[in-house]
Amino acid sequence: MSAVRLCALDELEDGEARRFDLGGGVVLAVVRIGDEVYAIGDRCSHADVSLSGGIVDERACTLECPKHGSEFDLRTGAPQSLPALRPVPTYEVRVTDGEVVVAVEEAP
Ligand code: FES
């Protein structure tokens, strides 16, 4: 695993999703809810749609796919509603000294 700095915490809007393309096919939808930051795979498991264009439900801790409305749990990546059936990947995020850092697999 390697740690990749994404941005400063202040650069993330509370309750919004933002897309980060880390290269090597790793694209994240990053969501800030208060002081917590979550990162899931940006590609919906139902079709090739960017989840970071979707709506965050802060209370449910989900991100809704903008295409057909499946809601993905930001903690587990699991869909909470149809039509998506499969989870999306989740990534461990740390906030250290106001910097948002994500753990990703090393490139092969
Ligand atoms: S493309 Fe995301 S639910 Fe269909």
pLDDT tens digits for range 23-37? 999 999 999 999 999
Question: pTM here?
Answer: 0.95
Atom 1 (ligand 1): residue with closest C-alpha? 47
pLDDT of res. 25: 93
CATH 3.30.420.610 corresponds to the domain 2-104:
no
Q: What is the pLDDT of residues 67-108, one digit of tens each?
A: 999 999 999 999 999 999 999 999 999 999 999 999 998 754
Beta strand 99-104 pairing with 93-96: antiparallel
pLDDT of res. 85: 98
| CA dist list (Å): 53 to 4, 17, 50, 68 | 22, 7, 6, 12
Does 65 sit in the ligand 1 pocket, CB within 6 Å?
Answer: yes
pLDDT of res. 104: 94
Distance 97 CA to ligand 1 centre (A): 36
Question: What average pLDDT score do residues 58-67 get?
Answer: 98
Q: What is the largest CA-CA distance in the chain?
A: 39
